[in-house]
Amino acid sequence: MDTVEEVKSRLDIVDIVGEYLPLKPAGTGSFRTNCPFHNEKTPSFFVNRSRQSWHCFGCNIGGDMISFVQQIEGLDFIDALEHLAGKAGVTLPSYNPQTSGLKKRLQALNDYAAKLMRHVLISDPEAGFARQYVANRGVDDLTADLWRLGYAPKDWHSLEKKFYAQGYTADELVKAGLASLKDSGSGIYFRFRERLMFPISDAMGHVVGFTGRILSQEKVAKYVNTPETILYKKSMILYGLDKAKTDIKREDLAIIVEGNMDAITSHQFKVTNVVASSGTALTQDQLQLLKRYTGNIAISFDSDEAGLAATLRGLDTARQMDFNIKIISYDQNLGKDPDELIRKDVKLWQEAVSRAKPIMEWIYAKAFELYPATTPDGKKKIAQFVLNECRYVAHPVERDAWIGKLAKALDVDPESLRQALKRQPAAELKTKADQAPEPAKPAKTLNTQDKTTNELEAIWLAIVLTKPQLFAKTDIHWIHPPHAKLYNLLEQSYNSPIPGQNQEPSLLQDSIAASASLEEDVKRLVDYLAILADREFQDAANDAIGLEFSNIDKRLKELSVHAQRQSLEFQMREAERLGDTEKINALLEQFSKLT
């Protein structure tokens, strides 16, 4: 058994996919859920335990557990295999960091930098002030270790020597974002000095960058971040997601805060489904990461004007991605941010989370906080603020209820608000339902006239794989070559069974798929057909399946005859052009047998 097969043999694809998606039973050994790779309301993503495979009928993509991890984590094959090997307890052949790819090399460099700066914070006399700062912020040793807090000293040459001793180069330090080229063009300088260091990890836990907070009185930027590198794209990172993702999935809720310390403190006090946006408006890439684990978000950002604007910018994208959105609010006199609120009393934070308001309710209340409802100008601003959100309310009854409530509060005619809403540009009036792609809809009953020949062939084979008693030798003219190959194998298996072996579908599928001489495309086809059968017939009675099979078989034979007649007609026209009477007569004889 090779390493790849050993890893796969020790894991169950249902468990792997289940870490990311909520799976529901859908037939014998199959599970279904909404696809994480495209927006849909009707689940079209299937996982089959017996075949250890997955397939999305909306995207029309599928594969094994490795390809799934590649897709959902954005990894290459080797990285996905390493991730699964760690779960399986399999040691992969060692890799040489000198010859590995640049991305892997820079990940190792960042990890080493995090270890060095963690050691400096713990033991270096120069970091005494930083240690006191961390203690004053209430971060305990276990939390500091978990989040790998470190310190970048003023003189970084001791660290530089250690990097070089490990074989890293100045060019690699620059490419990792740890250093920059000097303006003179000769030599490099360390980007982070006299700063408390927060390593930034991707969803897999790889260190991809750093945030450094200045602790000296020097008049420089309070925070310095790693610049954009091949590892670090700020718009694609949520601070703490590697630590929060399991709890986000379990709670079916992601709490989004603004600052790194907000996330760290929340985790220390056992509210662990929390990530930080690091002070930026939520991006589509960040929301796509969260969509892997939940469709529900609760946002707690600064309540000042800039914080509110950033919050609302991010919400447009979240609505379009069909998130359920709530806003967390609390008395700012109790704490200016979640970090401060939690240190006062973690119950205040827990209560604020539990009282989070749906976005429409929060917008409505916020409008009356921001503007006076006693002046014409104030009423206009309140109406604009609330109606801007109303355009995202998909259901017309709910939308009209909010308009009625707003009209009563402002003492204005509801019709005037409706007219104001209509004056919004047409593009802005789209609701979530309008913007979402048409979901993939598995057929409830088969209409053979609407199916392509390729689809009908696949369903025919899927049925006989799971219902061997329906198999019979057929003169169907197979269009898709892998279908023809599989049919021939099925004919051999079903008509010449091993003596004493029960023709269980799973045994036959396993026997066929395990054939050493079987082409890879046919192996993939068997995996796909096992899932297709569960999708199409999971709730169907045997009689109904038999009737569908008869209809499909009849339709395929009709299509076969039609295709053969077209081919013969073409050949006869060619024979006539060449004046080949003998061939014409032979073709006519074949043609007559088809009529």
pLDDT of residue 304: 59
CA distances from 420 to 363, 369, 415 (A): 17, 21, 9
Question: For 458-508, what is each residue's pLDDT tens digit?
Answer: 888 888 887 777 777 777 778 778 888 888 887 777 665 544 344 454 445
Domain that holds residue 21: 3-88
Check pLDDT > 50 for residue 538. Answer: yes
Question: For 568-580, what is each residue's pLDDT tens digit?
Answer: 788 888 888 888 8
Check pLDDT > 80 for residue 257. Answer: yes
Last residue of a domain, one of 331, 355, 379: 355
Shared domain check, 428 and 461: no
pLDDT of residue 306: 56
Inter-residue contact 329 to 357 (CB < 8 Å):
yes
pLDDT of residue 445: 45
User: Between 442 and 250, whose confidence is greater?
Assistant: 250
What's the 3-state SS for 155-211?
CCHHHHHHHHHCCCCHHHHHHCCCEEECCCCCCEEECCCCEEEEEEECCCCCEEEEE
pLDDT of residue 439: 38
Inter-residue contact 99 to 45 (CB < 8 Å):
no
Average pLDDT over residues 15-31: 87
CA–CA distance, 3 with 63 (Å, rounded to integer): 18
Neighbouring C-beta atoms of residue 553, cutoff 10 Å: 19
Helix, strand, coil share (%) of the chain residues, nearest 5: 55, 10, 35
Q: Is 185 left (phi over 0), alpha (psi -120 to 50) or beta?
A: left
Q: What is the CATH number of the domain that holds 151?
A: 3.90.980.10
Residue type, 318: A
Q: Is residue 311 part of a domain?
A: yes
Inter-residue contact 127 to 121 (CB < 8 Å):
yes
Question: For 136-190, what is each residue's pLDDT tens digit?
Answer: 999 999 999 999 999 999 888 889 999 999 999 999 999 999 999 888 767 888 9
Shared domain check, 120 and 204: yes
Check pLDDT > 50 for residue 433. Answer: no
Question: For 546-569, what is each residue's pLDDT tens digit?
Answer: 888 888 888 888 887 787 778 878
Average pLDDT over residues 514-527: 67
Last residue of a domain, one of 315, 333, 355: 355
- Tokens 């399986």 belong to residue: 88
pLDDT of residue 457: 82
Average pLDDT over residues 515-524: 64
pLDDT of residue 303: 59
CA–CA distance, 243 with 273 (Å, rounded to integer): 8
Going across the sheet that includes 223-225, the strands are 150-152, 195-201, 207-214, 223-225
Neighbouring C-beta atoms of residue 188, cutoff 10 Å: 15
DSSP string, 536-564: HHTT--HHHHHHHHHHHHHHHHHHHHHHH
Number of domains comprising the chain: 5
Q: What is the CATH number of the domain that holds 78?
A: 3.90.580.10
Q: Is residue 440 part of a domain?
A: no
Share of the chain above pLDDT 90, in %: 35
Average pLDDT over residues 120-136: 94
Q: What is the mean pLDDT of the chain?
A: 83
Average pLDDT over residues 197-219: 90
**Half-sphere exposure for 252 (CA within 13 Å, toward CB):** 4
Q: Is residue 57 part of a domain?
A: yes
Shared domain check, 366 and 351: no
pLDDT of residue 451: 64
pLDDT of residue 456: 84
